[in-house]
Amino acid sequence: MNEQIRSWVDQVAAMTRPDRILICDGSEAEKDALITESLASGELIELNQQRMPGCYLHRSAPHDVARTEHLTYVCTEVKEDAGPNNNWMAPDDAIAKLTPLFTGAMKGRTMYVVPFLMGPPGSRFSKIGVEITDSKYVVLSMRIMTRMGKPALDHLGDSNDFTRCLHSLGDLSPDRRFIMHFPERNAVWSIGSGYGGNALLGKKCLALRLASFLARKDGWMAEHMLIIGVEDPQKRVRYIAGAFPSACGKTNLAMLLPPKALPGWKVTTVGDDIAWLRPGGDGRLWALNPEFGFFGVVPGTSRRTNPTAFDMIQRNTIFTNVALRPDGTPWWEGHDDPAPAHALDWQGRPWTPASTEKAAHPNSRFTALASQCASLSPEFENPEGVPIDAIIFGARRQRRIPLVYEARTWQHGVFLGATLSSETTAAATGKVGVLRRDPMAMWPFCGYNMGDYFTHWLEMGRRAARPPKIFRVNWFRTGESGRFLWPGFGDNLRVLNWILDRCEGRGNAVDTAIGAVPTIDAIDRTGLSVSDADMIELLKVDPADWVEAVATQDELFRMFGDRMPKALIEEHDDLARRINAAITPADLVGRDNGA
């Protein structure tokens, strides 16, 4: 055992005072024992093993169902380094606040030591973490989401270069819940929550918040992005990375099944949530997915919407907060099967279709191994990653934002990412459906001042001689009656194809104030019943509608004061000029410019 790990384990044990310490090796025997104990304690409920072998249900505490951003801190020595995008506490104050909460927290419990590897084994880009936790659910989930145990220890050797991730369920009270990041000390302390994003510390905490901090220092990028390969009928594969806020369909896009009307096309999945990107010797950006599994939103997952994910979660899957049918299989809103006449809801209470509450929690989740995903890319384990042709920024927007448009330059693309905003979802606690700014979909995950982050993005474009082209997409634009204008899901491939055409100097577009928008016939609609009128609406750029958007962008940029790069302020001023030039006074009469 690595001596540094051992001495840290001793220190933590002296504080948390567990009854037992188990160093996890990631073996099958260890998994079986953890499952047996979890079934006995009620932390897991066995699902129907004939129909869904290796599948279990976990019910969380009712108030511990999503990320709690207001209890999440970035603890840098200097407050400004965390920025207005993060809650901040001085590192020593944070340790002083959490030490009493951790003291004796593991009495009567087992302390599990979980070494884990983020990234492919043997990759010079991979990172090691060690999570100490008192939750069996966390251990079993880490076993799916990361390369746990031996591969991590082999990669680490006797080095001290690992992230110290300390987690305890504590008493699960939101009053004593904190998720504290110490980027300068390469550590995370999380207490009071068993929820994935708060408790599986390899994911949002290490692979995004701490990694983004490190990436800026070392000249790479840690992003909240999916990575997909798009294979054309000639079998040529090009890669796209896409940033979307939580619960905006990244997993569906990552596993896109092409429509029948586009034979010979195929999408392969490299990742659905996190991308680490680096400039390669060829001047391109290369991306890898540091995770080993998928932690996806369950409601809405069906054979119709995402058959690949649906098949993937029929075995060896942990479900959290879904409903349970009498035959021992799970159910959720948006399942292909109709609502059962009787079930237990996500809290284990009797439920019928007449119930006013949802059967599954809207942020109920599945945790499944990437290796079970039929569309997994053959490059998934490639230690160098894959070369990225295009970056897309997407969000959930009913109005204003066209189906797709293209940035004029890298700098303009960074501006499009920086001004991303989305209607909120159930992935974080708080009101759902409210518009909020979410630059690069990283607002909750950027481990340092976002003004510096924007500067870093600009710098990365300068460093890569052949950076990807950048696009904005919006699958969620609605018409007058609130009807979605675009079918989404597999048909999004049609938009990706236009994007890839543009990367090669093909594909028709018109220049508008906001960027290059496809002409009405530029996106292939073969076999699709989207009318010309709907297409016009989907691609419409109404300058008058953009006036308010420009004003609120200004508010965002001001938040960062002198940390805000001038180049993006210039982009903003340029947009304002272009909008004003395109507008006629009549456009502004009698308009409702809300959200």
Residues that bind Mn ion (CB under 5 A): 246, 273
Q: Where are the alpha helices (DSSP H) in 439-593?
A: 450-463, 492-503, 532-539, 543-559, 566-582
**Cα(555)–Cα(84) distance, rounded to whole angstroms?**
13
Q: How far is the CB of 245 from ligand OXD (least distance, A)?
A: 7
Smallest gap from Cβ 248 to ligand OXD, in A, equals: 9
Label residues 272-288 b or e (16+ Cβ within 10 Å = b): bbbbbbbbbeeebbbbb
Partner from Mn ion, ligand OXD, none binding residue 447, C-beta < 5-8 Å depending on class: none
Q: Which residues pair with 511 in a beta bridge?
A: 516
Shorter beta-carbon distance to ligand OXD: residue 35 or 207: 207
Question: What's the one-letter identity of residue 125?
Answer: F
Pick from ligand OXD, Mn ion, none: which does 410 bind, CB < 5 to 8 A by kind? Answer: none
Under the criterion CB under 6 A, does residue 295 sit at the interface with ligand OXD?
yes
Q: Please confirm, yes or no, whether 248 is among the known catalytic residues.
A: yes
Report the site for ligand OXD in 548-567 (rule: CB under 6 A).
none
Residue 588 CB coordination number (10 Å): 12
Least separation in angstroms between residue 179's CB and Mn ion is: 15
Tell me the residue nearest to Mn ion as measured from the CB: 273
Residues 395, 438 contacting (CB under 8 angstroms)? yes
Q: Compute the least distance from the CB of residue 465 to ligand OXD, in Å.
A: 32
Is-contact 19 109, C-beta < 8 A? yes
E-assigned strand segments in 244-346: 266-271, 275-279, 285-288, 293-297, 318-320, 323-324, 330-331, 343-344
DSSP, res 205: I
Helices (H), 292-398: 307-312
**What Rg value do the Cα atoms of the chain yield, rounded?**
24
67 binds ligand OXD (CB under 6 A): yes
Q: Give the one residue of 273, 452, 534, 545 binding ligand OXD; rule: CB under 6 A.
A: 273
Cβ-based burial of 44 (10 A; exposed 0-12, middle 13-18, buried ≥19)? buried
Q: Among Mn ion, ligand OXD, none, what binds residue 134 when CB lies within 5 to 8 Å by partner kind?
A: none
Residue 127, token pair as written in the block: 């990172």
We find the least distance from the C-beta atom of residue 25 to ligand OXD, in angstroms, to be: 27
Q: Which option in ligand OXD, Mn ion, none does residue 202 bind, with CB closer than 5 to 8 A by kind?
A: none
Angstrom distance (rounded) from CA 532 to CA 341: 42
Beta bridge partners of 56: 46, 318
Binding-site size, ligand OXD (CB under 6 A): 7
Nearest-approach distance from CB 62 to ligand OXD, in angstroms? 19
| Residue closer to ligand OXD (CB basis): 67 or 477 | 67
Exactly one of 75, 165, 248, 446 is catalytic; name it.
Answer: 248
In the complex with ligand OXD, the residue whose CB is nearer, 295 or 351, is: 295
Question: Between 75 and 441, whose beta carbon lies closer to Mn ion?
Answer: 441
Site string for ligand OXD, 236-255 (x = CB under 6 A): ----------x---------
Interface mask toward ligand OXD for 419-458; x: CB under 6 A:
--------x-------------------------------
**Angstrom distance (rounded) from CA 534 to CA 403:** 11
Taking the least distance from each CB to ligand OXD, the nearer of 288 and 427 is 427
Determine contact, residues 406/512, Cβ cutoff 8 Å: no
Measured from the CB atom, is 427 or 523 closer to ligand OXD?
Answer: 427
Q: What is the pairing mode between strands 20-23 and 110-118? A: parallel
- The entry of Mn ion, ligand OXD, none near residue 507 (CB within 5 to 8 angstroms by kind) is none
Pairing of strands 318-320, 225-231: unpaired
The amino acid sitting at 543 is P
What residue type is assigned to position 293 of the chain?
Answer: G
Q: Which does 197 bind (CB under 5 to 8 A by kind): Mn ion, ligand OXD, none?
A: ligand OXD
CA distance 20 to 390: 49
Which CB atom, from 197 or from 565, has the smaller least distance to ligand OXD? 197
Total residues belonging to the chain: 595
* Chain centre to alpha carbon of residue 241: 12
Cβ distance to ligand OXD smaller for residue 194 or 279: 194
Binds 67: which of ligand OXD, Mn ion, none (CB < 5-8 Å by kind): ligand OXD
Using Cβ positions, the residue closest to ligand OXD within the complex turns out to be: 246
Smallest distance, ligand OXD to C-beta of residue 64, A: 14
Residue 446 Cβ vs ligand OXD, minimum distance, rounded to whole Å: 13
Any contact of residue 364 with ligand OXD (CB under 6 A)? no
- Both structure tokens of 315: 């075995």
Active site residues: 248
Give contact residues for ligand OXD (rule: CB under 6 A): 67, 196-197, 246, 273, 295, 427
